[in-house]
Structure 1
């Protein structure tokens, strides 16, 4: 039976309920207090197996977690992309939450709901956010993609780039942490679809595919679809974890949109593998954003994830303003990458932490 593993990284700036304890600059040791607090709140909640969630808090990312550890627990830490030069002293807490490895064949939604329940117990979710986003890592249940599957996904990244851009909120389009692959890659710039198909058909290794779709240096990592984890990169000692990473999701501040962007990332890779068989053809029929979205929903249905995707892609990109308040704790329609953080007012939560 086919199924998929995935993990989600959530980068957000949040405001503690207790605003009498403002947090100094992000490099301060005061972050330990808040990271430990959210980790404790997670451990007080249960996942789909009715076991207490596992969580680790670490405010200093001196070394990345080992391959084994990163799959087993929620990890609460900080990320440099959340830190701005003009950062003031305010109640905002910048954090990155990395999920354990979840499975499409299990009730992964319970784990997401439990995470956001813990977050709401400790923090106020802000109206405006600064340099925030989300990443979703996906791999097949057997652990890693075959080369032919990766070739299909890479081709879909190029072929469906315009349609994917229509799905993204405006703030995530061409954002410098998730540049479209076909605009970043030196191998793809100016190439026709037939030329891209020929390049990918000729690939004999995962390393060569990664070189084509984005490049092999560390500076090539922040693209919309990151393939660097499918093989060992020359700039790191970390082993390959076998995932393809989608970096274009909007800032997540509640369970509804978290499930949406997870489901989209998984469905895109399923669609790519279903639709683009090797050898790739030199041309394929064009596809409107609406038809593309229907294909995504159909692909999601194969893993029982379609219920998390709205009927229209305009709900995903938030141009349909009637849908912007459908996520608890998320009452502002757009991410504003260049905006200054503005704390909200609010009362102390009565939810047990």
Structure 2
């Protein structure tokens, strides 16, 4: 993204999807529609426009989407007899530089949730951020820059996540997909550089293994393209024309949601402008470099409020780059499982924790 684009139009646009498990504090709802109606009522009182939608409606969202959409998420834990439902709150499309609009709405949204509802950020929940330029779709060169940066910094970004988001099949590793797993980073960069279209780039970045749970669900017996990766590039060719950051965990409050928006936008802003020339694929990524580039992206994006860069600093506090993973949980044999368990025991690390450090999906 060129400097002129930033001056001509307000930087990047984004939409955020917040997944939560919700129960009303004051009413008993036996259906999702009843709960969603109460959420909309409280949002309306807070002067936040919203409506009850569906997953199909979300997938068909357009640039004219102006309000929040409340959607039932069947992948999240729901217990209707206990008045508990999995809920996805999908934001309108925001311009990042208009913080006086989007940050205020996120804060108001969370005040409503915290005051009127019991909100549970379970491990099944996550926070997704969709990204696009402010004045049109990503250029192929910009998308390639982001793709290279996600590959290069994957284990550093993994270090910013809770362990369960490193081995979750709904945010699989782009670096360890069937297209790239056996390649060194310089060859991956070359492959990305040679992509002739956004569709080709998405196919390479989001190739899903025939051994994955998604292949089992869709009856694929060969590798195929699927959106459930840390960074989803398949939507580059869909109506929204976005790049989706799917790895962040559930937001527990407004600060969490704002932090992941800040990180995603800042990382993508820098990567789209600088990664093609700044990253050396023969070198090893480091947390200090990622932090430097994310903070540079924040500055490029126009982040001037001292509180917001403070959130990014807190995200990086104490983080260390994770080791290269060695075990593919999708196709692990019994012998490999036993070996992994024994390695963990020798190091005094419980198996679940060892998986989070040394395995991938």
- For residue 18 of structure 2, the aligned residue among 10, 13, 16 is 10
Equivalent in the alignment of 2:32: 31
1:196-232 Cα shifts (integer Å, max 9, x gaps): 1211121111111111111389862110000111104
Structure 1 unpaired stretches of 5+:
25-29, 46-51, 233-239, 319-335, 337-353
Query: Out of 37, 44, 50, which is 1:55 matched to?
Result: 50
The Cα of 1:296 is off from its aligned counterpart by: 1.1
For residue 81 of structure 2, give the secondary structure of its aligned residue in structure 1.
coil
Moved more, 69-78 or 264-273: 69-78
Alpha-carbon distance change, 200 to 65 in structure 1, aligned in 2, over 3 angstroms: closer
Tell me if structure 2 keeps the 8 A contact 1:74–1:99: yes
Query: What secondary structure is seen at the aligned counterpart in 2 of 1:276?
Result: helix
Name the structure with the higher helix share. 2
Q: Measure the CA separation in 2 of the matches of 1:144 and 1:198.
A: 23
Match of 2:212 in 1: none
CA distance 1:243–1:298, change in 2 (3 Å): same
| 1:1-353 aligned within 5 A | 1-2=5-6, 3-18=11-26, 21=28, 23-24=29-30, 30-45=31-46, 52-58=47-53, 61=55, 63-64=57-58, 66-68=60-62, 71-83=65-77, 89-106=81-98, 107=100, 108-126=102-120, 129-184=122-177, 186-215=178-207, 220-232=226-238, 240-277=239-276, 283-305=281-303, 306-307=308-309, 309-315=311-317
Q: How large is the RMSD of aligned CA atoms in angstroms?
A: 2.7
Alpha carbons of structure 1 residues 99 and 281: separation in structure 2 relative to 1, 3 Å: closer
1:268-314 Cα distance to aligned partner (Å, 9 max, x none): 11121233236x97735433213312321221122234525342445
1:89 alignment partner, SS class: helix
In 1: Cα distance, 2:58 partner to 2:312 partner: 35
Where relative contact order (Cα < 8 A, 6+ residues apart) is larger, the structure is: 1
Distance 1:102 1:218, change over 3 A: farther
Q: CA deviation at 1:43?
A: 1.8
8 Å Cα contact 1:169-1:317 kept in structure 2: no
Structure-1 separation of matches of 2:134 and 2:310: 21
How many pairs were matched up?
Answer: 293
CA distance in 1, matches of 2:267, 2:193: 20
TM-score w.r.t. structure 2 length? 0.74
Query: Cα offset for 1:79?
Result: 1.3
Aligned mates of 1:316, 1:248 — CA distance in 2: 19
What's the secondary structure of 2:252's corresponding residue?
coil
Q: 1:55 to 1:165 in 2, by over 3 A?
A: same
Measured in 2, the distance between the counterparts of 1:5 and 1:245 equals 12
CA 1:176 to 1:70, structure 2 compared with 1: closer, same or farther past 3 Å? farther
